[in-house]
Amino acid sequence: MTSRGSAAGRDQPTTTRTSPTGLPPEGFAECVLCQKPTEYPESYRGITLCPVCEWQEAQRTACSG
């Protein structure tokens, strides 16, 4: 019988949206509310929000009627 091992035991590269220093990766703007990296480049004009804050803002401004 052979042992295949579990996914947790394998060395898999992890993808993070922050650098080892905790700063956003080069080229991405920070969210103006929580300072997490956004999907927008640093050169983007206007308010930049991370996906979570963008969704919450849409919920706040949505028509409830």
pLDDT, tens only, 4-62: 555 554 554 445 555 555 655 468 999 999 999 999 998 888 999 999 999 999 999 88
Q: What per-residue confidence (pLDDT) applies to 11?
A: 57
For residue 26, give the nearest of 12, 37, 10, 15 by alpha carbon: 37
Residue with more model confidence, 1 or 29: 29
Q: Residues 33, 53: contact at Cβ < 8 Å?
A: yes
Buried b / exposed e over 14-34, threshold 16 CB at 10 Å, is eeeeeeeeeebeeebbbbeee
Q: Give 26's DSSP letter.
A: T
Q: What per-residue confidence (pLDDT) applies to 54?
A: 94
